[in-house]
Amino acid sequence: MGLATSDYIVFIVYFLIVSSYGIWVYRRKKNANASSTDFFLAEGQLTWWAIGASLIASNISAEQFIGMSGNGFRLGIAISAYEWLAAASLIVVAVFFMPIYLKNRIFTMPQFLKTRYNETVALIMAIFWLFLYVFVNLTSILYLGTLAINNLTGGDNFHIIMIALAVFALIITLGGMKVIGYTDVIQVIVLIVGGLVTSYIALTVVSEKFGYGKDFLAGFNQLFKSAPGHFNMIFDKPGPGSTQQQVNHYASLPGLAMLAAGMWVANLNYWGCNQYITQRALGADLQTARKGILFAAFLKLMMPLLVVLPGIAAYVLHQQGELQQQMLTNGEFREDNAYSAVLGFLPTGLRGLSMAALTAAIVASLAGKANSISTIYTLDIYKKYIKRESSEKNLVWIGRIVVVVSLVIAVAVNWKDALGIGGKGGFEFIQKYTGYISPAIFPVFLLGFFWKKTTSKAAIAGIIGGVLLAILFDKLLPGLAGNDTFLYTAYPTGTGAYEIPFLIQMGWVFFFTMLLIIIVSLLDKKGREKINALQVDRSMYRVSPGILAMIIIVLGIIAALYIRFW
């Protein structure tokens, strides 16, 4: 496809604006002399709109633009469930989770586990999170982003682009959370504008293909006519006569079953128990944090317009004989090429804007993830177990070193795609392997929040037992208990194996982990005598009229969307 000189000029202007603004924010408060809480949390320095923008900039990355567009190509609008239920989950986090964190002065997720349980629980989870963030999230974001920009530029510069993205993220991250938070505002503006332009162009191309001229509304209506199956939110459970494609669709998004638990576990754990996300709001007061989180909920509602619609447009065009070569990588069809394929229709100059939008999403997520890795390692491992008497300056420098190391590891792992991300749908790769941890972690937090009898031994049993249960359901259970039981149905993958849909796995693992924690807590009489109670005041769950209005509007929009596309 390739880019013209004007595209590179647009991109360079974007780079200079973000970098210059980041330097200006950095110099306004000399971060070289900042405290560790300033560096990692920007305590009290982020406004509600900066918090909301930073949440979205950190969340929307290559896994959405590339992975979710690829799923839009294959599954259609149903993949939007992740985005729309995320908005509902953000309401739960704002109303119920955030007051607990702020009341108890929680700065990191391992710190919460230490405060509520003990240091053993905190250390186990700190190690879990570091491995997950480095080897699943950071690496996959970098790989998918590099793949997309490499396809967009039409060259064979995969490794050069990967290093450039890592360096760009490094520049932003080394300035600390304040620089990340405020540059994320620019990043969000760029990714939203660029994403909307891409969707608009894609719809006008569809309109022209079907003889309606450059009419994006006609193009949108044509998507419904040409791919009606791509506008169903809920997939039916496969029967004896179902095709392998129908089975694969249900396995990815198992109808009503995923709404019972799995999708909620994934979203509530991600938005409420995830250092990478909660870190944005932990340095603010409750009212500011709630406004920022609900602002992010509004932005989540519009994300399918940016990341799913281009994938559906690519599907319709592909069915009409377009984009045949663009959907191939080394001669092999890849659904994750859908977004970069659509970008090929953009005129000169706008391709540079779209590349800037994609880069904004990737770099913001890389910076946020690297900062979270740095925060957990520095505050929850280094300061507690390696050098307890570290000065504030030393902690900040250790944090910066960890940022560099984590990005170097991500580049090294991706150099020859050691994790095989290129062979899987990028979005599902992240969701599935995060799903090994989520249903084990979330019960520990949920019961720690709201059930005072939960003990430390029960939390450890839940973490270890939950991960083992996830492996059991994913790798072993169909072979041990058969493919069809009262708990689950395992479906053929098309390669001779059978697999339980991973969102159903997450639901059952969550249920049994909750049960395990409750039973161990009830049996652990000595542990109940040593429970660390959280500071809780019921009044802190009350919301102002303005916050309540925002909540009602978000829930109303979600209800309308589900009614329309059910």
CATH number for the domain spanning 359: value is 1.20.1730.10
pLDDT of residue 2: 65
Q: Which residue has the higher pLDDT, 196 or 419?
A: 196
Provide the pLDDT confidence category of residue 424 given band limits of 50, 70 and 90.
Answer: low
Provide the pLDDT confidence category of residue 428 given band limits of 50, 70 and 90.
Answer: low
**Tokens standing for 162?**
């990967």
Q: Tell me how far apart the alpha carbons of residues 110 and 113 are, in angstroms, rounded to a whole number.
A: 5
pLDDT of residue 22: 75
Q: Tell me how far apart the alpha carbons of residues 88 and 31 are, in angstroms, rounded to a whole number.
A: 36
Indicate whether 444 pLDDT > 90.
Answer: yes
Mean pLDDT of 160-165: 92
Mean pLDDT of 432-453: 88
Query: Which amino acid is located at 181 in the chain?
Result: G
Q: Tell me how far apart the alpha carbons of residues 21 and 550 are, in angstroms, rounded to a whole number.
A: 31
298 assigned to some structural domain: yes
Indicate whether 217 pLDDT > 90.
Answer: yes
364 assigned to some structural domain: yes
471 assigned to some structural domain: no
Q: Tell me how far apart the alpha carbons of residues 352 and 292 are, in angstroms, rounded to a whole number.
A: 30
pLDDT of residue 177: 62
Residue 90, Ramachandran bin (φ over 0: left; ψ between -120 and 50: alpha; else beta): alpha
20 assigned to some structural domain: yes
Query: Which amino acid is located at 455 in the chain?
Result: T
Q: What is the pLDDT of residues 433-443, one digit of tens each?
A: 777 788 999 99
Tell me how far CA of residue 114 lies from CA of 111, 122, 141, 330, 504, in angstroms.
Answer: 5, 5, 30, 49, 30
Range with lowest mean pLDDT among 205-209, 217-221, 235-239 = 235-239
pLDDT of residue 176: 65
Question: For residues 84 and 451, is the Cβ–Cβ distance under 8 A?
Answer: no
Number of domains forming the structure of the chain? 1
The domain in which residue 326 lies consists of 5-237+272-412
501 assigned to some structural domain: no
pLDDT of residue 259: 83
Q: What is the pLDDT of residues 40-91, one digit of tens each?
A: 555 556 788 888 887 887 777 766 777 788 889 999 999 999 899 999 999 9
Per-residue DSSP letter, 484: B
Q: What is the pLDDT of residues 243-290, one digit of tens each?
A: 888 888 898 889 888 888 788 998 999 899 887 777 778 778 899 999
518: Cβ contacts below 8 Å, ≥ 6 apart:
447, 451, 458
502 assigned to some structural domain: no
403 assigned to some structural domain: yes
Q: What is the pLDDT of residues 111-162, one digit of tens each?
A: 899 899 999 998 988 888 898 889 888 888 888 788 778 877 776 788 999 9
pLDDT of residue 32: 45
177 assigned to some structural domain: yes
Question: For residues 150 and 157, is the Cβ–Cβ distance under 8 A?
Answer: yes
